[in-house]
């Protein structure tokens, strides 16, 4: 359509010129004494148009001639810029291919080209970012080659270049520095790099994963647990994996306590959902008992777990019984009622029979204790509980003066 319009316009111009020039009787007279020159107006117009075109072409030719040095310089700079970008691509390709010496050499070549352009007065719009990335590639190659001095030198240059107007690249350099410190088994140095990042960048998933690894390697369970919580909120792990990770870190936090006061403070640092985890609560109660802490405090920690006894696996049930058994000497009436109610609700559960029998034995209810422990001893699968049940039955038989029954019970306890 556009070509048709141009063709119509050309025909219109041609028609207009033909109408103007065909009947144009005008003349132009030049007086140059003693001469007189008469020229037609059409010829004068054509001469003027030709002169204009000739002058325009001459001026363009002169401009192009004088612009040749600038064009040559521009061409040389373009060649250098292309070579610089080619070196960057070669460095990245070599790095991915495991050719670390070539990758470092190509990155340093890109830096040389960039410096040459800067010396020539050719400033690139992304010069800082390009310089930072080239230094990072060289540092990555140096890290793979175990050249720590070279890595630190290039990392320093990368941070200096990126600090000007490439914040994302600067954050990336700090993350890489933290990862390199982790590879060198220097978790404190990795945490130091991460602390230098802005608050928003430090909460990115990659930074949080790195901080989690560094915190765990440094033995900082509290910080590792807090980081794991953030990762769980960001859905960095599946639900099962997040729960397993948080559970393990909570147990590590409890293991870092060496007296009852520290253990209580560590328990207070846990979130309510973490205190409800059966593995965490049972572990905390057993550590408290091992440290000689208050049994009623341990039972308070175990109460939510006890209320979900029916949903626990066999292993957790046994661990819960061990934790409660540690404080049976000071068992109050409320807990005794809970034990009796649970045993009556599950009369065939040997674990509950054992726990209720041991509680009755501590309360000197010998007959009921013997009945429950006898039933439990026949069904217990856990070796330790089975042995303890027969030992308790042996003690009860000795208390009654039944030497034969006591001997058989001691024999059964020793056979486990």
Spell out, as residue ranges, where the chain has pLDDT lower than 70.
16-24, 416
Q: Which residues of 32-43 are buried (b: 16+ CB within 10 A; e: fewer)?
A: eeeeeeeeeebe
Read off the tokens for 361.
Answer: 């034995």
Q: Where in the chain is the domain with CATH 1.25.40.10?
A: 332-416
| 3-state secondary structure (DSSP) of residue 5 | helix
Question: In 3D, which of 227, 156, 163, 152 has the Cα closest to residue 197?
Answer: 163
Please tell me the predicted confidence (pLDDT) of residue 20: 66
Give backbone dihedrals phi and psi of 353, rounded to 5 degrees, phi first: -60, -40
DSSP alpha helix (H) spans, 234-313: 239-255, 260-269, 272-275, 278-290, 295-307
Topology (CATH) of 133-236: 1.25.40
Return the CATH class of domain 332-416.
mainly alpha
Amino acid 56: pLDDT: 93
> With a threshold of 0.75, does the pTM exceed it?
no
Q: What is the pLDDT of residue 139?
A: 93
């Amino acid at each position: 359509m556009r070509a048709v319009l141009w063709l119509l316009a050309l025909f219109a111009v041609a028609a207009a010129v033909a109408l103007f020039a065909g009947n144009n009787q005008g003349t132009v007279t030049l007086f140059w004494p003693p001469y007189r020159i008469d020229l037609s107006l059409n010829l004068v117009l054509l001469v003027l148009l030709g002169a204009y075109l000739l002058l325009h072409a001459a001026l363009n030719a002169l401009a192009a001639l004088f612009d040749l040095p600038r064009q040559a310089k521009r061409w040389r700079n373009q060649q250098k810029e292309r070579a610089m970008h080619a070196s960057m691509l070669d460095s990245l390709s070599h790095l991915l291919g495991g050719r670390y010496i070539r990758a470092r050499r190509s990155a340093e070549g890109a830096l040389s080209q960039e410096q040459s352009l800067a010396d020539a007065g050719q400033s690139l719009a992304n010069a800082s970012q390009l310089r930072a990335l080239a230094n990072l590639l060289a540092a990555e190659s140096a890290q793979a080659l175990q050249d720590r001095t070279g890595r630190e030198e290039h990392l320093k240059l990368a941070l200096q270049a990126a600090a000007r107007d490439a914040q994302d690249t600067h954050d990336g350099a700090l993350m890489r520095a933290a990862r390199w410190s982790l590879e060198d088994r220097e978790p404190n140095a990795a945490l130091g790099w991460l602390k230098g990042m802005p608050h928003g960048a430090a909460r990115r998933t990659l930074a949080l994963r790195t901080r989690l690894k560094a915190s765990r390697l440094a033995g900082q369970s509290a910080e590792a647990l807090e980081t794991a919580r953030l990762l769980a909120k960001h859905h960095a792990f599946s639900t099962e994996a997040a729960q397993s990770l948080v559970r393990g870190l909570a147990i590590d936090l409890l293991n870092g306590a060496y007296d009852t006061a520290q253990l209580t403070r560590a328990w207070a640092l846990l979130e309510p959902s973490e205190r409800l985890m059966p593995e965490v609560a049972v572990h905390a109660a057993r550590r408290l008992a091992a440290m000689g802490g208050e049994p009623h405090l341990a039972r308070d920690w175990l109460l939510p777990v006890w209320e979900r006894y029916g949903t626990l696996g066999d292993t957790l049930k046994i661990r819960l019984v061990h934790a409660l058994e540690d404080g049976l000497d000071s068992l109050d009436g409320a807990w005794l009622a809970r034990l009796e109610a649970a045993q009556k609700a599950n009369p065939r559960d040997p674990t509950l029979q054992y726990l209720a029998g041991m509680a009755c034995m501590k309360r000197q209810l010998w007959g009921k204790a013997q009945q429950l422990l006898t039933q439990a001893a026949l069904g217990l699968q856990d070796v330790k509980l089975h042995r303890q049940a027969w030992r308790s039955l042996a003690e009860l038989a000795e208390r009654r003066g039944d030497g034969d029954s006591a001997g058989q019970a001691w024999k059964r306890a020793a056979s486990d």
